[in-house]
Chains A and B, each alone.
Chain A
Amino acid sequence: MAKKQKRYAFLINLERCIGCNACTVSCKSFYDLHPSINRRFVRETSELLTGTPKRNYISTSCNHCDRPACATACPTGAYIKLDNGIVKHNQDRCIGCRMCATACPYGVPQFDPVKKKMDKCDMCVDRLEAGEQPICVVSCPLEAIAIVDLNEIDESQVVADLPGFADSSITGSSTRFILPKGTTVVRGGIKSWNTL
């Protein structure tokens, strides 16, 4: 029986992310990116994500969408949706028109002021093909980022939408999130909602 083609996606565990930016910095360092460019961002998100006040961080990069707006907007066809789900940008074709940045609901592609071309995450496709994990995955001290196969994942345990994150249905974002658990203060101690 033919093996089903994998559909790679990022899985971000918000319960684990502490906002340390190791993913951002390691990616930037590994690929020697221009100082103005980040392929991965960490930002603070709503404190009320779980219904109770709690500091939450979200790490995002390219969402490798099912219907990538960057690929539709690009006049040179520099973006390719690979069979494994990764949206790859071919810098050799790019002319730096920046339409991809305008069209992407997440504003992911960024203009490299030295190369005068766009830049974005390709999920370290070369490392994946060599059997290694992307650099952001291996550098996260809390293992908050993982690569999953969307054919295998249990969608009931994850979400595709978060407050402040553009509607995933627009372009079919492949990134999935594990929501943090709610907490409450009981006589000075902190307990998880689901243990009460």
Chain B
Amino acid sequence: MEHAMTLVIFTFLSQMAIGAFACLFFIDTYKEKISERSTVISLITILAISAVAVVVSVFHLGHPFAAYRALLNFGASWLTREIVFFPLFMFFVLLYTFFAKTKAQKQILGWTTVVFGAVTIFSTAMIYTIPSVPAWNNGTTLAAFFLTALLPGPILVQLLLALLEKRTVNFNLYTTVVAFLALLLNGVTVSVLKSGLPAAVESAGLLTASPLFWIKIATLAAAFALAGYFLLKKKAGTVSTVTTLFALVIVAEFLGRILFYSSGVHL
């Protein structure tokens, strides 16, 4: 897929934004008190990332100005469903940003937004879970897309709060566990591909032969080690620690998404 870079950027940014919102909603509504200013700035950042994702995605079309027609096949096409649900997610982030004042309002709008976000990720994964590309036609696609939401998303929120509130929210246990799951998924993916159809075996070869794959593994391992170190030391870490973690997971997940598209061998 030579036109895939726009799709790499869209899927990566949209999933990170969804994960970031879910995390911020959880902290804002159920956990630590954060100032309204920090919440609003973080939500606007999430909206800005989502908007960039949408704008970039339009450029993989032959006719970007006819993009509205992509809404016409909701009954059959997962791509249409993704195109419907992601703007709905964005709309509810907007409502949450400006209209969620009480805890009840936050819960209703927040959960609705999280559900639309989760359905968006599910729809995106289903677009690629197709028999014509055996490497994608299994549960690792869905797992990888949800992990992109679950790993960089919360670390983005951690970074924003560290910059805005000058204090670090302790996510070390969460980050250590999710980074470990992301590392594990790479092993599972290679194993699944190697036991699949010839096209999937070819994908496994392309994946493991790429230096990008090993850079991804190294950055994920470094993120796991860094979060694990601070977990063992029982320290929340500093702004520079969170920035480093964010940089590591961004590189890992972005490279992972490039590899997803570049190693998908068609039947």
* A interface residues, Cβ below 8 angstroms from B: 69, 71-77, 93-99, 102-107, 111, 115-117, 166, 170-171
Contacts and interface: CB of A to CB of B under 8 A. Distances in A.
B63 A96 contact: yes
Given A93-B69, A94-B63, A102-B266, 14 more contacts: A69-B131, A71-B76, A73-B77, A76-B69, A76-B70, A95-B69, A97-B79, A99-B77, A102-B130, A105-B131, A107-B132, A117-B63, A170-B131, A171-B131
Q: From B62, B70, B127, name the one whose CB has the most chain A CB atoms within 10 angstroms.
A: B62
Interface residues of B, number: 26
Q: From B1, B77, B80, name the one whose CB has the most chain A CB atoms within 10 angstroms.
A: B77
Contacts of B77: 72-75, 77, 99
A196 to B, nearest CB: 34
B109 to A, nearest CB: 28
Interface in B24-74: 60-63, 66-67, 69-73
Which secondary structure dominates where chain B touches chain A? Answer: loop
A116 B267 contact: no
Contact of B73 (A74, A111, A116, A171): A74
A38 B83 CA distance: 31
Q: From B63, B132, B266, name the one whose CB has the most chain A CB atoms within 10 angstroms.
A: B132
Contacts of A98: 1, 3, 60, 62
B127 A99 contact: yes
B62 A97 contact: yes
A103 B132 CA distance: 6
B162 interface: no
Contacts of A72: 76-77
B225 interface: no
Contacts of B79: 73-75, 97, 99
Interface string B76-96: 111110010000000000000
